[in-house]
Chains A and B, each alone.
Chain A
Amino acid sequence: MLSYYIKLGLKRLGETPVLTLLILMAMALGIAVSVTMLALHHAMAYNPAEEKSGRLFAVQLAAYGNDMETWGEEDGLPIQVTHRDAMNLRESTIPLRQTPMFRMALTLESHRQDMPPSADFVVRVADRDFFEMFGVNFVYGGPWDKTIDLDTARVAVINQSVNEYAFGGGNNVGKILLMNETEYRVVGITEDSNPLPRYYDLTSGAYPITPDSVFIPYSLAPQLESFPNGNISGWAAEPVNEFADLLQTEFVWQVYWVELPDAQAVAAYRDYLAGYVDQQQQLGRFQNGQARGHIRDVQQWLTYNRVIKDDNRVMVGLSFMFLLVCLVNTVGLLLARFLRRMNETGVRRALGASKLQIFQQYITEVSLLGLLGGGAGLLLSMVGLWGIRSLYTQYATIAYLDATMVAAAVAISLASSLIAGTYPAYRVCAAQPSLFLKAQ
């Protein structure tokens, strides 16, 4: 019977075109607004670390003086660490992999004629483990040798965009890249990738437009002359005239990640952090009563840093309220549409249709309307997301529909049509058929 109901439903779509259009508009608008907000929320809630999410941990240290009650986040923990602590933490052998990191903006020069110097590429300073920990894929070459993390060398890993800019593409491993008039030997070329939210470094926003394009060894930090391109925070005033000064301060400006493969390693690293805090206290640092170390995995880190703002959740809630309002309107319009056909319903009942069969016929018709409304809503939500990308640059890289959201839109359309159609269909099928048989 389903094919019969679908055939009838399709036949009736053209009936009362104005009413049909109003129903479709009401459903499409409600679905468009809710899918737009949901798509944005879905993109923001995405965890790019996926299966490694539970193995990667951000390290926090409450490393400040006793003249402060609290500092950092609400729990008294800053999200960054000092250079001195980063250097100390690197000595632990518990993590499977680990890396401190910070960002810089250096000026690159191209080997191509007519290409001007560019400071548009983000340079990330990190240890070799960064590439494996955060899933960076290489096109040519690979990461620098592990020994360079200790002994240092002026090497660089670049992404394909920089490779194109500096060399015009191709395998350029071994060639020289000029940054701030300093030579770096290219050891690897990676795919362009921009994992969002940028979970491993949230200090300058979760959704940066520019990806990390050049990677240089953390061991080069003492030799660098430019200041980092990120947040620098301190709990006490300290004179900083040049970059070398910053390395000696208690200012926090680096992020530290460790990869701990199992619960045993996690427990061991927590013990290690506790021991490290004790050791530093004995050395006269970490004098605050809250002094402690803490680690959070990726999902915890995203939540802790409020990557999804409360505003976004409120907007999703409001959008579904709007959908509800649209559905209430749709209920009224569907009632008008169905009640016009009461005579036909009476005839069908007289000819042997049960209440259930009449209900199924109308619900099928509503589902078809819902799918059409959902399709229109999907198109409108694409327009909505385009508007969001145009208006808000922080969402420019994430406000898109993916396959999951398209499937969600279809599900919302069907659910909406069932919610809106149940009462009108019930009213029609529950009516006494004899009342309408003489009313033609």
Chain B
Amino acid sequence: MLEMQSINKIFTTDLIETHALRDFNLEVEEGEFITVTGPSGSGKTTFLNIAGLLEPFSSGRYSLDGQDVSQMSDNDRSRLRNQKIGFIFQSFNLIPDLDLFDNVDVPLRYRGFPAKERRRRIMQALERVGLAARANHLPAQLSGGQQQRVAIARALAGEPKFLLADEPTGNLDSLMARQVMELLEGINREGTTIVMVTHDPELALRSQRNIQIIDGQVSDFSSAPAAVEPLV
């Protein structure tokens, strides 16, 4: 599903070069649910941005669902992102002046679906997260957990093969975090590949595989998440 070979990401200023990712290698199989942990500044978010085609990388090779993205144009990368990747963010990133229906509609608009198909997918996705009855509410009228469920509905509406989650429970209390995690596990069971960055060792334990990034490199592969150390 995802294959990164010798990926380097270097941020350059007039005075200094910073290696955010250094000789980074990772392979994620279709249907896997992996968690990514590591200390702050280790390169987790950079990895996620590159994996989600939101940021270019300096060198190396990255293949997503069999397509080499290294030389793709902005249009092609956007199309691939739209069709194959779903994003879930820590701070939900819902558009505040659009109601839930219109928020979930955003990726479908860029996909070019006709209105009827968009409506079907939006309502299906909102039903999936239990918020169909509140389709006309604004995000500010919902709790944090509900907002994150809307963000998940938005990510799911386009039926992506690959879900990238950046600390999706970071802003939620433990009860809501558990609900969101259960939702993600259900989605994964249906075949969607999930890569989730988290600081929560308990959540890391629940994934099939955990990788730890330190100083821009994968320092530890483990099929036994118990090996993950608690992080601050």
Contact = CB atoms under 8 A, between A and B. Distances in A.
Contact of B107 (A343, A351, A440): A351
Interface in B108-164: 109-111, 154, 158
Interface of A is mostly: helix
Contacts of A440: 91-93
Interface string B32-58: 000000000000010001001011000
A50 B75 CA distance: 52
Interface string A334-359: 00000000011011111111111100
Interface of B is mostly: helix
A306 interface: no
A118 interface: no
A351 B90 CA distance: 15
Interface string B82-96: 110001011111010
A438 B106 contact: no
A349 B90 contact: no
Contacts of B111: 352
Contact of A356 (B75, B82, B87): B75
A343 B75 contact: no
B78 interface: yes
A357 B75 CA distance: 9
A226 interface: no
B74 interface: yes
B97 A347 contact: no
A434 interface: yes
Interface in A410-440: 432-434, 437-438, 440
B19 interface: no
B83 A352 contact: yes
B183 to A, nearest CB: 19
Contact of B110 (A353, A432, A433): A353
Interface in A147-202: none
Nearest to B53: A350
B81 interface: yes
B54 A11 contact: no
B95 A349 contact: no
A10 to B, nearest CB: 12
B91 A348 contact: no
A347 B78 contact: no
A347 B106 contact: yes
Nearest to A11: B97
A434 B109 contact: no
B178 interface: no
Contacts of B81: 350-352
Top-3 shortest CB links A-B: A352-B82, A354-B78, A351-B107
12 contacts: A15-B97, A348-B106, A350-B81, A350-B87, A351-B107, A351-B110, A354-B79, A357-B78, A357-B110, A434-B49, A438-B89, A440-B93
